[in-house]
Amino acid sequence: MARENMAVTTRYGLLPPEEAILGASSAMNEVRDKLEKIAYTDVPVLIRGEAGSGKEVLARLIHKRCPGEATPFHKVSPAGRAGWHQSASSMPLCQEVEGAGGNGYQAHGVPASPGCIGTLFFNEVAELNFASQRTLAQLLRDDKAPGLNTSEYAPPLFRVICSTRHDLERAMSLGNFREDLFYSINIVTLDLPPLRARREDIPGLARYFWKSYRNELGSMTPAPSNSLVDALQGYDWPGNIRELAGVMKRYVLLGSGSRIMDDLAAKAASAPAHRASAARGISLKKLAKQEAREVERKIIFRTLRETQWNRKRAARVLNISYRTLLYKIKEAGVPPKRINVKREK
């Protein structure tokens, strides 16, 4: 498979092109704007978002821009909250490190490359235990890993990117997260929206995954049909981009869009509505409004599909005016009308 100028492999396959990562949705505008301002700096970045929303992919995109593909990207993943460190001086900084490029000293488990700037990506920083938090805080303060013999080797410079799906402010108030570390990593925050909040980006992501897995598996599965894309946009994706990647891989393996659509419909029917109460600082009034809007969107989408996307007929079924339906379709972000009443076999 051609690498198409993409340097690394992620859990979703090759690092997607920027248009697939950033998309074109309004929900990603703030992320895109901040990224453009900080991408070519070395300031620490904190990426927040739900599990599976693409935090590591975004971190790799930042690394690709600065310090660049020629430098090492090291992923640091906690292996458990307890028993991970005995002390900062006797245990490595990280139990799992993924990296490419660079040969040099290892200071507390942090690979270093002589004369080379790299990126340290702390995956789920909220789950670091206190010994690790202390080590990372010192790394950020001193711009070097503790224990490195600086008389023999110039201090390595690492850009630090952290990600989390947890509420760090709450963890800090409960005494589970160091304040000095929080204020050190919270210089620039990128809040990555869940996939259900950026439905306009689903077609591009779905086609990227289809193409990537099709090439990887040597499959001849055709591009997803309009009806399948509609179904993908109508689903809530509790597992976010990670779940979408899995669904598209299954589509490439099975070659049946109808089966995928049936699976999504079954999941939607059996799963409770997504709860947004985990969002930081959300009010009960705002939560109720979001829930009502989500229920309305599902009803509109289901009715449109049942009426073969005949909007006038759907308006009659819903007992609202045609003009009101058009407004609600736009407000709810329901996919546009498709001319495809047949399912593929």
Apex 216 CA angle, 213 and 222, nearest 5: 50
Greatest CA separation found in the chain?
79
Higher pLDDT, 341 or 326: 326
The predicted pLDDT at position 41 comes to 86
User: What is this structure's pTM?
Assistant: 0.67
- Output the pLDDT for position 286: 55
Highest-confidence range of 140-144, 305-309, 337-341, by mean pLDDT?
A: 305-309
Kindly tell me if the per-residue pLDDT of 336 is higher than 60. Answer: no
Strand 13-14 to strand 73-77: parallel, antiparallel, or no bridges (unpaired)? unpaired
Per DSSP, helices labelled H in the chain are 18-22, 29-38, 55-63, 130-142, 168-173, 179-185, 202-217, 226-234, 240-254, 257-270, 284-306, 311-318, 322-332
> Among 76, 166, 155, 74, which residue's Cα sits nearest to residue 111?
74
pLDDT value at position 143? Answer: 52
Q: Which of 36-45, 88-97, 156-165, 264-273 comes out lowest in average pLDDT? A: 88-97
Angle value at C-alpha 328, between 323 and 334, nearest 5 degrees: 120
pLDDT of 285: 54
CA 271, CA 285: separation in Å to the nearest integer?
23
Q: What is the pLDDT of residues 226-255, one digit of tens each?
A: 999 999 999 999 999 999 999 999 999 999
Residue 209, classed as helix, strand or coil, is helix
**Domain edges within the chain:** 39-191, 288-345
* Report for 13-27, 78-92, 130-144: range of highest mean pLDDT: 130-144
Q: Measure CA 227 to chain center.
A: 25
pLDDT, mean over the chain: 76
42 close to 159: Cβ distance less than 8 angstroms: yes
In this structure, which CATH number among 3.40.50.720, 3.30.390.10, 3.40.630.10, 3.40.50.300 belongs to the domain 39-191?
Answer: 3.40.50.300
Top-confidence residue, 271 or 144: 271
β-strand 118-122 against 13-14: which pairing, if any?
unpaired
Side-chain half-sphere CA neighbours of 102 within 13 A = 24
Answer positive or negative: Cα dihedral of 80, 81, 86, 91.
positive
CATH level 3 topology of 288-345 = Arc Repressor Mutant, subunit A (1.10.10)
Structure-model confidence comparison of residues 8 and 339, the more confident one:
8
Three-state DSSP class for residue 226 = helix
**Residue 14's pLDDT is what?**
55
For range 284-309, the mean pLDDT: 73
**What is the pLDDT confidence band of residue 328, given thresholds at 50, 70 and 90?**
confident
Q: Which residues contact 212 (CB under 8 A, 6 or more apart)?
A: 1, 12, 13, 14, 16
d(C-alpha 9, C-alpha 144), whole Å: 28
Q: What are phi and psi of 39, to 5 degrees?
A: -60, -40
Q: Is the pLDDT of residue 308 over 90?
A: no
The pLDDT of 63-91, averaged and rounded, is: 64
Q: Summarize pLDDT for 103-161 with one digit per residue, the tens.
A: 333 333 333 333 347 899 999 999 999 988 998 898 888 655 444 443 433 344 688 99
Q: Strand 73-77 and strand 96-98: pairing?
A: antiparallel
* Angle at CA of residue 51, ends 305 and 230, nearest 5°: 15
Predicted pLDDT of residue 287 = 54
| pLDDT value at 280 more than 80 | no
